[in-house]
Amino acid sequence: MKKQKIEAKDRVYLLANGKTPLTYSLANKHTNTRPLLIIDEESQRQRAIRYARNQKSQFVDEQDEHVIVEPIIFQDGKLVVPKINFQLQEFLSMHPDNVSNNGGRFYEYNPEEESRREMEQMDMEFQAWTAVKNLDFDKLKTLASLLMNLDVDNMSSSEIRHNMVLYARDYPEDILDAIEDPNTEVDAIAKRAIDDGYVFVKGGKDLHYNLKTNKTKIFTIKHGMTAQDSLSQWLQSDVGLEFYELLREKFSTEE
């Protein structure tokens, strides 16, 4: 980590994941049980850090014998650090538990950044809501079956659209990704083929046809993949294309 100059201003830090305990003590010095080590880019080695307001450096090996270690305590999930305490601000910017350093315990609250993220989220929600409202109904049914696992054949069009509008509000990115994904229809057909019993899994690993005149094995499901994902991938191959077209025709005539 390269030491960065800290701008002089008041800063607010919050515990991650919305946690708000009455008090929370953040590790303030390197110990064997709670190591606070960072990679110093200048020396290319690990160095221990420690917060001491009476020291100029955060590195233990640069501090003198008169070090005074102070606790770092979040109250109700918040820590306010005035600009005059630049030592603590610098220490927190270097801390391994800082989200900006790939930690997971706390982060610096930035009102401007938070507002930008909220606006981006609201914009995404609006895009997803608009897309669902204007989407072709056949496509909407496909997404409802795939994303929400709804039994669309036994639901009215208004029920399906209502459920998808609610889903778009909560998971806008999923909606937009699915709409843009060219494989969405294939994934939906693979799911329905399994759900409706046109194929079945035998022995927990082999996928078989389940047609009146054909119960033969199609393939062995790839390790780490689900039956649905494997089938979707196979349906897009040259050998699976004929069965894919058969399923498409069968499902379109059933609707």
Rounded Cα distance between 219 and 200, Å, is 11
Residues 6+ away with beta carbon under 8 Å from 163:
144, 148, 150, 155
Token pair, residue 32, equals 């064997």
- Identify the structural domains of the chain with CATH numbers, from first to last: 11-109 (no CATH), 118-181 (no CATH), 183-255 (3.30.250)
> For residue 75, which amino acid is it?
Q
The predicted-structure confidence for 192-205, as pLDDT tens digits, reads as follows 899 989 999 999 89
What's the pLDDT at 185? 85
> For residue 28, which amino acid is it?
N
> For residue 100, which amino acid is it?
S
What's the pLDDT at 40? 83
| Rounded average pLDDT over 138-143 | 84
Rounded Cα distance between 226 and 240, Å, is 17
Residue 5's pLDDT band (boundaries 50, 70, 90)? low
Most confident range (mean pLDDT) of 72-76, 118-122, 143-147, 185-189 is 72-76
Q: Is the dihedral of CA 77, 95, 37, 69 positive or negative?
A: negative
247: nearest Cα among 177, 200, 196 = 196
> What is the DSSP track for 76-134?
TTEEEE-TT-HHHHHHHHH-TTBGGGT-SSEEEE-HHHHHHHHHHHHHHHHHHHHHHHH
Residues 6+ away with beta carbon under 8 Å from 122:
none
C-beta separation of 178 from 132 below 8 A:
no
Rounded Cα distance between 130 and 165, Å, is 9
β partners of residue 81: 11
Most confident range (mean pLDDT) of 127-131, 142-146, 152-156 is 127-131
